[in-house]
Amino acid sequence: GQQLNQSPQSMFIQEGEDVSMNCTSSSIFNTWLWYKQDPGEGPVLLIALYKAGELTSNGRLTAQFGITRKDSFLNISASIPSDVGIYFCAGSSGGGADGLTFGKGTHLIIQP
Amino acid sequence: GAVVSQHPSWVICKSGTSVKIECRSLDFQATTMFWYRQFPKQSLMLMATSNEGSKATYEQGVEKDKFLINHASLTLSTLTVTSAHPEDSSFYICSARWTGTPYEQYFGPGTRLTVT
């Protein structure tokens, strides 16, 4: 089956620093999505990417859909305490009727 | 918009009993809903895809007779864990796909199931 490799597994950063995480896939995806999950809650959609090469921003978040359609990255600029959580990439290879394949997550920890 | 709710948020049941979890799209109609399972410190794994008015499609390795899914309306899907066992204890999360954004899935807050 499809697998997503997400890295890093965890990040310990200082408040104010920029953050970068990425996902790579063994196969092509038509859509990349980035979610944030807080403990005991469901994932919240941050950014959705639909086209290869697409670069999309949402406030301090920027994500790109790799040109090969096998990778994506998420950047967070000027991190703040509320950015703490687990970030998941997710991909869809189908036409919208498919469930998502999730990466293993990046646990972001911000040190004051 | 695009709010998905789940009920209950947590449930404790005895081994051998059945538990029903509801997933509702509150402000949109969802032609397709998905059920995921998440074990502690792990990622979400797709269990099944639920289309309104038709039988659910289960992922490989997921027992359809154990995890019964019903999608009776465009705003409600239910997951019933039958004859639950301790190994079924997990965080169950549903998502709904809005027809307006085919690839975006909006997730519910999850249901924590503990089987004793």
What is the percent of chain A where pLDDT is above 90?
81
Burial tier of B102 (Cβ tally within 10 Å: 0-12, 13-18, 19+): middle
Interchain CB contact of B50 with A (< 8 Å): no
Q: Are residues A110 and A81 in contact, defined by beta-carbon separation less than 8 angstroms?
A: yes
| Mean pLDDT lowest among A57-61, B55-59, B102-106 | B102-106
- Asked if pLDDT for residue B95 goes beyond 60, the answer is yes
The chain-wide mean pLDDT, for chain A, equals 92
- Give the B window 61-90 contacts with A, CB below 8 Å: none
Residue B30: pLDDT over 60: yes
- Rounded to the nearest 5 percent, the helix, strand and coil shares of chain B are 5, 55, 40
pLDDT digits (tens, 9 = 90+) for A68-103: 999 999 999 999 999 999 999 999 887 556 789 999
Cross-chain Cβ contact B4/A95 below 8 Å:
no
pLDDT at A97: 61
Nearest to B46 among A44, A48, A99 (CB): A99
Disruptive mutation site among A32, A37, A86 for chain B (greatest number of B CBs within 10 Å): A37
- pLDDT value of position B65: 95
Please give the pLDDT value at position A1. Answer: 55
Cross-strand pairs, B19: B81
With a cut of 90, say whether residue B102 has pLDDT above it.
no
From the CB of residue A16, how many other CB atoms can be counted at a distance below 10 Å?
10
Instruction: Give B82 to chain A, closest Cα distance, Å.
Output: 23
Q: What is the pLDDT of residue B54?
A: 85
At residue B59, does pLDDT exceed 70? yes
